[in-house]
């Protein structure tokens, strides 16, 4: 009897020790992916570009508490950037290379990919600007495998206070300031979720028109209604500040547990509108161009699982958002389509890419560009080429091809051309 008693006691303590040493599986993180519209580095704190900056304490906090990816390339306009992120494919593969072009309905989007590869462990929503189905408003984004969609279907609104809200395949007219409405929709959806969530929150701010946000959301003073005769910069800054105000409101609405279990990705989709562009960018080097001011955009990641802080200079493209978010969600993927996950950079310093690529095609121009981080080559379908040394000439003022290249520069150009050929074929 005594021997049996001691054996039972030993088993009890051993089981307690095993339970104490056994780690509780980490809860899958919530993913908050925030996209700002037409906002380049010259319009945001943390960058040398531009001298007039908005007051953005919440966006600044995301940047300061995590990783600032300074070599992030997008596309020159809204639609191809969004299509590349949500499919993980370059624009020439999806045929979305300019604004208002339509993504094929057979494409497997990120949200569906996550659902199919994690046993439907995430709730997914897209709120705000869609802009990858052309002008076909009969399409409901939920048919692509997204649990919930609400927002503006095309690229912009004519009035921030009077605009068509698409939800569940139907359109109504909203009279609420778009940035506030999108934030409220995001909060309402998040508040209903009982499993980990992936929120794709695409603001149309600070895209034109320059309509004044509610006064409590910005610090630009008592602005009169905007006309073409006045400086648009304060209105542009007010729109960014209102977005920051609403981001803060959304983050503060999360419970402490949810906030600690949420990873936040914040980015700009393409360069600033020329009318509000600041030095050192020229007005032809921002939105709608393949120069750095048009495609080298802000990208900050902080929150759950992000152990590093500060600047990371890895070459990253908008396609990489696909694999990165999929891996965060638990999919066993590091590379898919044209997408390479940079999730590992949240905790370690390493190299992800040797080259980065972007492109554009509209009625006037067909062009593509590639960089190895030091040199950048632009190739136009009409035969013109430009090459820049991004370390010595970061704002692309001096085309190297206007002078004879050194042997090293010739070999570098050949390597860039070879990689372009590999990518595009």
Give the model confidence (pLDDT) of 57-73 as tens digits.
999 999 999 999 999 99
pLDDT tens-place string over residues 403-418? 999 999 999 999 999 9
The candidate with the shortest Cα–Cα distance to 180, out of 210, 215, 232, is 215
Provide mean pLDDT across the span 111-115.
98
Contact 28, 325 (CB under 8 A): no
Q: What pLDDT is attached to residue 18?
A: 39
pLDDT tens-place string over residues 70-85? 999 999 999 999 999 9
Rounded CA separation 397/281 (Å):
9
Rounded CA separation 318/70 (Å):
13
pLDDT tens-place string over residues 171-202? 999 999 999 999 999 999 999 999 999 999 99
Provide mean pLDDT across the span 118-126.
98
Contact 375, 388 (CB under 8 A): yes
Rounded CA separation 184/378 (Å):
42
With vertex at residue 326, the alpha carbon angle to CA 323 and CA 328, rounded to the nearest 5 degrees, is 110
Q: What pLDDT is attached to residue 36?
A: 98
pLDDT tens-place string over residues 251-277? 999 999 999 999 999 999 999 999 999
The candidate with the shortest Cα–Cα distance to 101, out of 362, 308, 365, is 362
Biggest distance spanned by C-alpha atoms of the chain: 97
pLDDT tens-place string over residues 17-66? 433 433 334 789 999 999 999 999 999 999 999 999 999 999 999 999 99
The candidate with the shortest Cα–Cα distance to 144, out of 181, 111, 183, is 111
Q: What pLDDT is attached to residue 17?
A: 44
The sheet with strand 170-174 has its strands ordered as 170-174, 163-167, 148-152, 123-129, 197-202, 30-36, 262-268, 299-303, 67-69, 310-312
Q: What pLDDT is attached to residue 19?
A: 39
pLDDT tens-place string over residues 292-346? 999 999 999 999 999 999 999 999 999 999 999 999 999 999 999 999 999 999 9
Q: What pLDDT is attached to residue 23?
A: 38
The candidate with the shortest Cα–Cα distance to 422, out of 323, 338, 360, is 338
Q: What share of the chain has pLDDT > 90, as a percent?
A: 92
User: pLDDT band for position 168 (50/70/90)?
Assistant: confident
Q: What pLDDT is attached to residue 408?
A: 97
Mean pLDDT score of the chain, rounded to an integer?
Answer: 94
Beta bridge partners of 376: 371, 388
Q: What pLDDT is attached to residue 425?
A: 86
Provide mean pLDDT across the span 93-102.
97
Q: What pLDDT is attached to residue 136?
A: 87
213 half-sphere exposure, CB direction, 13 A CA radius = 28
Rounded CA separation 146/126 (Å):
7
């Amino acid at each position: 009897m005594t021997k049996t008693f001691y054996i039972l006691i030993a088993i009890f303590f051993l089981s307690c020790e095993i339970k104490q040493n056994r780690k509780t599986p980490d809860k899958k993180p919530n993913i908050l992916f925030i996209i700002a519209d037409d906002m380049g580095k010259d319009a945001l704190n943390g960058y040398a570009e531009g001298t007039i900056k908005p007051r953005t304490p919440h966006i600044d906090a995301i940047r300061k508490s995590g990783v600032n990816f300074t070599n992030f390339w997008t596309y020159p306009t809204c639609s191809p950037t969004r299509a590349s992120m949500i499919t993980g494919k370059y624009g020439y593969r999806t045929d979305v290379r300019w604004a208002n072009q339509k993504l094929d309905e057979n494409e497997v989007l990120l949200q569906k990919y996550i659902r199919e590869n994690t046993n439907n462990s995430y709730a997914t929503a897209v709120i705000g600007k869609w802009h990858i189905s052309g002008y076909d408003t009969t399409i409901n984004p939920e048919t692509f495998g997204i649990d919930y969609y609400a927002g503006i279907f095309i690229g912009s609104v004519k009035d921030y206070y009077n605009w068509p809200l698409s939800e569940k395949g139907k359109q109504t007219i909203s009279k609420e300031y778009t940035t506030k409405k999108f934030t409220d929709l995001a909060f309402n959806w998040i508040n209903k979720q009982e499993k980990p969530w992936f929120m794709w929150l695409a603001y149309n701010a600070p895209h034109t028109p320059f309509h004044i946000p509610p006064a409590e959301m910005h610090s630009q003073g008592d602005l009169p209604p905007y006309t073409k005769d006045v400086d648009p910069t304060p209105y542009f800054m007010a729109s960014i500040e209102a977005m920051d105000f609403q981001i803060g409101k959304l983050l503060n609405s999360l419970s402490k547990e949810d906030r600690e279990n949420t990873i936040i990705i914040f980015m700009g989709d393409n360069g600033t509108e020329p009318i509000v562009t600041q030095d050192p960018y020229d007005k032809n080097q921002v939105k709608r161009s393949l120069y750095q001011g048009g495609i080298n955009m802000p990208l900050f990641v902080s929150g759950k699982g992000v152990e590093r802080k500060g600047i990371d200079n890895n070459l990253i493209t908008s396609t990489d958002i696909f694999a990165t978010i999929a891996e965060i969600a638990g999919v066993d993927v590091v590379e898919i389509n044209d997408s390479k996950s940079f999730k590992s950079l949240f905790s370690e310093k390493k190299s992800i890419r040797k080259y980065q690529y972007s492109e554009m095609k509209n009625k006037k121009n067909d062009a593509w560009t590639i960089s190895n981080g030091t040199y950048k080559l632009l190739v136009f379908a009409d035969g013109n080429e430009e090459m820049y040394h991004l370390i010595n000439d970061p704002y692309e003022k001096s085309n190297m091809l206007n002078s004879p290249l050194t042997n090293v520069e010739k070999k570098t150009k050949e390597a860039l051309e070879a990689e372009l050929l590999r990518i595009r074929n």
